[in-house]
Structure 1
Amino acid sequence: MHVVVNAAMSADGKLSSRRREQLAISGDEDFARVDRVRAESDAVVVGVGTVLADDPHLTVKDERLRERRRERGEPETPARVVVDSSGRTPTDAAVLDDAATTYCCLSEAAPVDRRAALADAAELITAGEERVDLLRAFAALQEAGLEQVMVEGGGELIFSLFEAGLVDELRVFIGPTIIGGRDAPTLADGEGFVADFPELALEAVDRLDEGVLLTWRVEDR
């Protein structure tokens, strides 16, 4: 499985404000790029925090890109994956509509009633006792045929994926704004590393809109 983390952050490294509300950090060029990356992927992955904050649809927007997927014999939009240890995804979340297959990765601690509610709209993967075991969950996704995976956030999930050694590539659009705030989410939140830091090799630098896109390959740890 090839895992690409894709994110947009402010010039000071924030994904959104301390209120954790969705902000338009990117411009039209980067939005179009993200749509292309989605169209090239087998699945788009987010954490439940992103679902609760933004209620994203996670579908391919450009009809031409959807048509190319159909021509390849693929669903017109990739599968969607929510990493949700305790089953907090609302049953009316946009990501659970019938636009594409959705997988919910749960831990064994997710309540039975939440499992039952989510099972009506999603394929359930159980991995881990209190929190989702990402290694096991991603192995199950790969067994389901998902090979090219795009991760769109948030910061807690991105850190956990780096911690598990699952990230192969990092693409970050840095937008021309300052958000600030010690409590504003960053690209990689969670507990943070104190040693054995992931090493990145710079692959490309591209100017988009009024910002810059940085592409890194993650070195083996």
Structure 2
Amino acid sequence: MHVVVNAAMSADGKLSSRRREQLAISGDEDFARVDRLRAKSDAIVVGVGTVLADDPHLTVKDDALRERRRDDGRPASPARVVVDSSGRTPTDAAVLDDAATTYLCLSEAAPVDRRLALAEHAELLTAGDDRVDLLRAFGALQEQGLERIMVEGGGELIFSLFEAGLVDELRTFVGPTLIGGRDAPTLADGEGFVAAFPTLELDAVDRLDGGVLLTWKTNDR
């Protein structure tokens, strides 16, 4: 399995404002790059916080890319995966429509009524007691034949993936915007590291949309 974390952040490392509202940090060039990255993936993963804040669709937008996937014998869009320990994903969320297969990774703590409601819209994978055990969950995704994984946020999930040692590659578009705010989400939130900090190796630097795309490889995989 190869796991790529992709994110757009402001010059000061924020994913959005303190109101958790989606902001246009990048532009058309980066949107097209992200669409190409989605088209190369077997699955797109987000945390439930991203679903609740942005209600993303997580599909390939470009018709030519969708057609190329069909020509290769694959669905038009990759599978969608939501990491959602307690089953908070709304049943009318865009990610649960029929545009692509959706997997919900739950913990044992998810209430039965939420499981029953969500099972009508998605494939349920249970891993972990109170919180989703990401190592087990990603192992289950791999058993489904999902090998190339693209992670689109948010900061809590990204931190947890680095903490679990699951990230192979990090791609960050740094836009020409300053957001600020101690409560604004950053690229890697969660509890934060106090020792054994993950190290990265800079692989490429590309200018686009008035900002810069940084591609990092992890040294811990």
TM-score w.r.t. length of structure 1 = 0.99
Q: How far apart are 1:220 and its partner, in Å? A: 1.7
Q: Unmatched 5+ residue regions in structure 2? A: none
For the residues of structure 1 that align with 2:180 and 2:6, how far apart are their CA atoms?
Answer: 21
Q: Deviations over 1:23-70 (max 9, x none)?
A: 000110000000000000000000000000000000000000000000
Tell me what 2:174 maps to: 174
In 1, Cα distance between the equivalents of 2:118 and 2:219? 37
The alignment partner of 2:30 has SS state of helix
1:80 is matched with: 80
CA distance in structure 2 between the partners assigned to 1:115 and 1:218 by the alignment: 35
Matches within 5 A, 1:142-221: 142-220=142-220
Instruction: Look up the match of 1:133.
Output: 133
3-state SS of paired residue (2:217): strand
Distance 2:75 2:39 in 1: 10
Counterpart residue type for residue 70 of structure 1: R
Question: What CA RMSD, in Å, does the superposition of the two structures yield over aligned residues?
Answer: 0.5
2:10 match: 10
1:111 alignment partner AA: P
Unpaired runs of 5+ residues, structure 1, are: none
CA displacement at 1:71 relative to structure 2: 0.5
Distance 1:141 1:48 in 2: 17
Provide the rounded CA distance (Å) in 2 between the counterparts of 1:220 and 1:51: 29
Note the C-alpha offset of 1:130. Answer: 0.2
Instruction: Report the TM-score, using the length of structure 2 for normalisation.
Output: 0.99
> Match for 2:153: what amino acid?
G
Aligned with 2:139: secondary structure? helix
| Distance in 1 (alpha carbons) for counterparts of 2:215 and 2:32 | 16
Amino acid paired to 1:126:
T
Partner SS state of residue 206, structure 2: strand
Distance 1:111 1:220 in 2: 36
Secondary structure at the aligned position of 1:145 is classed as coil
Q: Secondary structure at the match of 2:179?
A: coil
Provide the aligned length of Structure 1 versus Structure 2.
221
Q: Is 1:98 matched with 2:83?
A: no
